[in-house]
Structure formats: structure tokens, C-alpha cells
Chain A
Amino acid sequence: MICAGIDAGSRTTKVVLWDAARRAVVAAGAVDQGIEQAALADALLERLLQESSLDRKQLGPVVATGYGRKLIGIADATITEITCQAWGVRQAMPAARTIIDIGGQDSKLLRLNVDGTVDDFVMNDRCAAGSGRFLELLATRLGVRLGCLGELAGRSRSPAMISSMCVVFAETEIIGLLASGVTPADIAAGVQASLATRVAAMTGRDVTCPIVLTGGVAMVPGMDAALAAALGQPLGVPRQPQMTCALGAAILAAQRGWPAESDWRSNAAGKPAG
């Protein structure tokens, strides 16, 4: 049975096709997020199916997760990013005890039990300075591609101090630094360190190894090293760090067939269950 996990994230939509019998990923892909979240996810799913020489009839259950999960009409169920991320990482890096996920719009810390289930989680979604949005803004400001930021930061000799707690003020700070002649490399390294420090603060100094870094930000070269330095601990990055959440959703989809019952949420407003 082929199952699908759709992670409708704040900046990108990810889809993973999972072969439940072989316990293997069939295909995985990502597209930029947009207004028509459901259509984007649908098109991506269709493309992955075609590339894998599959058709819709062969597709089993679909689970949606991420910010836009409730908008994905083709999904049989929705499960939060927290649970999906844990299941995806359990598959990709089974020994993990801590997950740091830095997405486009927020960052999360998950503590896992020995069996890979979620023990506890913390989220930062009140401040973009701890998210991928910060790096996007920096790349735009410095006129480089997001993927080149790590290389740029690697050339820094004296990373700049970026102390603003808010991404809007941080941008003002960056403009000020540029105006006073600080090099783009030092600014890029400073922003990376600032982001890493902010994320590390979520752990509250209490972090069990092995630590795994996931989310789109994990694909920016140098981010793992900056975060490892801020944590004082080594951390691992899965082969496709952006995909683990969608992978978890696909694995959860394969857990069971979904009975076609009416959504219990219709009873949630206080009417006695019929």
C-alpha cells in the first residue's frame, strides 16, 4: 500500500509517498507555499505519483500536517507537526532523543522518549527571529541566494553581533551594520549565530543526545555547526531534513485504514453525541 504524507508548511509544501509494505520512501518533493494550498499540494502529489508510475487508484490513506493541514481536502486525517515530526525522525534517525526543527515561520524543540514517542515539546512562534524567515530576510538584504548564505558566512573573520529580539528590528540593525561598513560575510555569520542562540535558548540547557536538526533551515550550510556551537553539543541532520515531518505523516497514514466515519469535531460544539 502506498500512503502519502503532506506537510503544508508556512513557506513550502512537502509531500512524501511511502510504501508501507516495503517500509521505504517511494518519492518526496517540495514546492513553495502559496495561496491555493490545497491545489499546490494536490499538484505536487500528482507529479510524484506520475514520476513513480503510480496512479491515484493505487494511493492509500493520506495524512496532512503543518500550518495548512486543515485546508488539504484530499487528506483522510490531520495530525499535528509535533507527532508527525517525531514519527518521521524515528524512521530517519531512530536513536534521536531531541529534535530541533527550524521551519519557515517558527521553531520547535521536541524531547523524545527512548521509544521515539514525544515526551514534551516547546515552540517559539511569537518571534520570527528564531525561524527561517530571518535567514530569508538576510539573504534578500545581502542580495544573495538563501543556499549561498552558509558559504558567505564561512568567509567571516569577525561575526557581527545581532542583538535585536525581533526580526523587523534586526533588519534595521543589519542596515545599520551595512552602512557602517561591516562585511556581508560578518553579518551573515552574525545572523546565523543569533538564530542559533535563540533556538538553543528553547532547550533550557536540558537536552538529551543524540540531537537531530530538521526543517528547511537545516539545509542552509553551516546552520548545523552554528547550532552545535550554541548548544555545546554535536547534532545530526537527516539526509532530507525538510521531509521528515511529511515522512512521519505518511507513516502514520499507513498505521491503519481510516474508517469513513463522520468527523467527531462536528460534535465538539457541545451538542450531545448522537
Chain B
Amino acid sequence: MAKCCGQPAEREPAEDPCAWFAQMIDHCYEYARAAKAAGRPVVGILCEFTPRELIMAAGGVPVCLCGGTAQTIPAAEQHLPANLCPLIKSTYGYHVLRSNPFLEMADLVVGETTCDGKKKMYELMAETRPMYVLELPHKSADAEALEYWVRELAEFRAFLSQRFAREISDDSLREAIRTLNHERALRREVAELMKFDRPPLLGRQVLDCKSSIWAMPAALQQYAHVLRTAARPTTASPPANGDGRLRVLMTGVPMVHGAERVLDIVEHSGGLVVAMENCTGLKPLLEDVDAEAVDPLRALAEKYFHLPCSVMTPNDRRLEVLRRLVAEYRPDCIIELIWQACLTYDVESHRIRRFAEETLALPYLRIETDYSPSDSPRIAMRVEALLETVRARRGPSAVGRQQKSPLPLGEQ
């Protein structure tokens, strides 16, 4: 299991409301093993476009397989080009090494035609694993494209029914939708704690409050636990923020479990990540599915088709989401993370930069990196320079002061 785990930030376990999530992978592993022993199929998924609700309605346990470690990448590069995004390589490396226990116990892997790198990687993975690929059309504003996606999900529903010998009724689908709406609502509420002037959590804690397997009863309880304990300021000390940190909105690629390095650099350099507009942050949580819809499958298709991923074109919805998050979370600057060779986010970053600087009037920094820590000092320098620039805009004297005498921005 060690390979799955990143370096958790130093915390005092007794006081950390998110402590349970430090062993999230272990909890998921136990849950998946028990489910498997009870005869439930385990289904690996690799993207937020894959509707977990359909898999759950078929009795399956959907589990995220995205790799966040650099350790499996050399094995992946036996087959894949070196100049490919580290998320794809890390995930595929687990496949080659057979070292991701969830992938090894999976009865089915569901891929999707999002970016070209993943699409072609799935073909290689499918040589030795049962694979189903959903075809996602990319024109997000096109009515016909949505119809295609509805039909694609209907086919997937039929496939799952047949594969796991279980009819997926509208009612069972609605039940799965309600469960995940509940989970999305809880995670949204955790994220919304960061709207406060003095947020009770670090961005790293919010990022950790997630589970590779959704709808695990223990995880649902833990989200509620975080909301109960974190919203209340701890006894003697003020909340973690409030000591001169600047508010940062992160956008771009997902920071999957183990790949939190850049966020940690931001928070060690004087930033506080108050919002994450990415797939491991708010992107998949912002919209629920209408469980009462006459046609729940169509409602499901609409929700997922709306995800503002950079594979969609044009991806105008991402700008709307950014505008909304900036209004609600009041960041001082925007940092975009691009995994090296992630073509769609890389190209789209030009548009995001202009939107940030010209429309939102916020300083913007683009960080392109991979899973290796070799450039951490240089990334830290860029982040520090960005934060210095933000402080300089607030007053000529602030720039030379922040390092040892932080301004009390928490009271702003």
C-alpha cells in the first residue's frame, strides 16, 4: 500500500478533523475487499466523466485508479512515450507492475475518450484487462453531442446489467443518485469552509477530504465529522489561517492522491489554497443530478456532460465556474497547475491566463511540472515571487515585510 501514499502534511493527529483521511487508501482497501468477498463487483474508473451512479446501481463498487506516484513511471515508460502526462504514466505503471490492489481486484475497468493519451493507453491496458470505454463527445454546447452521450450511457447501462446480471431499474438509479448527491453536498460544504475570512482548514486538508471509493458509509460520517469539528475554532488558538497568508485559487489538472506536491509548496510559501477548480476539487461537486427527473439516465448524462474539462470545446463553462468561484472564495491570485504534456490543459491555459488577468483582474501563475520533485525549489521561487507581487500591489511597504512580519490579513 505504501506506493499509493504521498507525504501527508505534518499535523497534530489529536486535533486534525481530517485525520481519518490520512489512511483513506487503507479504508478503501478494506471496504473493497469486504465488498468483493460479499460478491459485489469492483469496477475501476479513471475519470470524473464516468458516472459512478450507474456502476453502483448495477451493484458494483466504483473505485478511482488514477496514479499519483512517480515510482511507477519508469515501468510505464517501457511501453509509453516519456513525453506523456505523469498521471497517465503513473496509472499505467501500476498496471504494468500489478501493484495497485484496486486494479488487481477489479472485475472491470471503465475508460472514456477524454484526452488522446488516456484513450490510447486504455487500448494497451485492454490487452490484459476487461475494459469498457465510454465515448464522450467533446462539443459541450451541441445538442446532438448530448444526445449521443445519453445513448452512450444507455448502452453502458445495458452492458453493466448484462455483465453483472442485474437489472438497473430507474429506481435503483435514483437511489444511487441520491446517495452521491448527498456525498457531493457534504464535500461541497467542507470546501465552503474556505469561504470564511479565516478558514478553519488548510487547502491540503480540504484536498485530503476525499475517498477513492464514493458512498462509503465511513467516509460520509467523516465528512460530517469534519464539518462538526472544523467549523468550530479550536480552543486556545486561532484557526490555521489568519497569519498573513494570501488566498489562492488553484485550477488546472487534478492533484490525485500522492500528487499534492505543488499545493504543499503553495501553502509552505505563504499561500492558503481556498478553492480548487479541478477534478480533485470542486469541479465534479458543483452540480448535482436531479434524482426526481422522469428520466434519471438523461439527468445523469446532463450532469456529467456539463463537467468543464479542457477536453471539451469550447470549454466556456470553465470560465463561468472560475468567475463564480472567484466571487465566492475571494482569492488574491490564481495558480494554474499543468501536468507536463497534458496538451488540452496546456493549450487552454493561455485562455485562462487572459481571463484571470483581464476579466477577473487577478494575478495568474502557470506551473508546469510532473511528479518528480526535482523542480520544487524553482516552483517555490515562482510562487513566492507571485505572492510578493500580490503584496506589493497592496502597498509599497508591504513587499519587504512579509517574510518575517506577516500582515494580519485574516481580519480583512
Residues of A within 8 A of B (CB): 63, 67, 76-83, 106, 117-121, 123, 125-126, 252-253, 255-256, 258-259, 261, 263-265, 267-274
Contact = CB atoms under 8 A, between A and B. Distances in A.
A125 B242 contact: no
Contact of B389 (A106, A118, A252, A265): A118
Interface of B: 9-12, 15-16, 202, 204-205, 234, 237-240, 242-244, 267-270, 357, 363, 375, 377-378, 381-382, 384-385, 388-389, 392-393, 396-397, 399-401, 403-406
Contact of A252 (B9, B234, B400): B400
Contact of A80 (B16, B237, B240, B388): B388
Contact of B204 (A259, A261, A267, A270): A270
Contact of A78 (B12, B378, B392, B403): B403
A255 B400 contact: yes
B399 A256 contact: no
A253 B403 CA distance: 12
B374 to A, nearest CB: 10
A53 to B, nearest CB: 27
A272 B202 contact: no
A178 to B, nearest CB: 30
Contacts of B401: 255-256
A267 B243 CA distance: 9
A121 B385 contact: yes
Given A125-B378, A274-B237, A83 B388 contact: yes
Task: Specify the main secondary structure of chain B where it touches its partner.
Answer: loop
A253 B397 CA distance: 11
Contact of A77 (B10, B12, B404): B404
B267 A268 contact: yes
B9 to A, nearest CB: 5
B237 A268 contact: no
Contacts of B16: 270
B275 to A, nearest CB: 18
Most A CB within 10 A of own CB, among B270, B363, B375, B381:
B381
A80 B385 contact: yes
B385 A263 contact: no
Contacts of A76: 404
Contact of A83 (B267, B270, B385, B397): B385
B269 to A, nearest CB: 8
A66 B363 CA distance: 22
Nearest to A249: B400
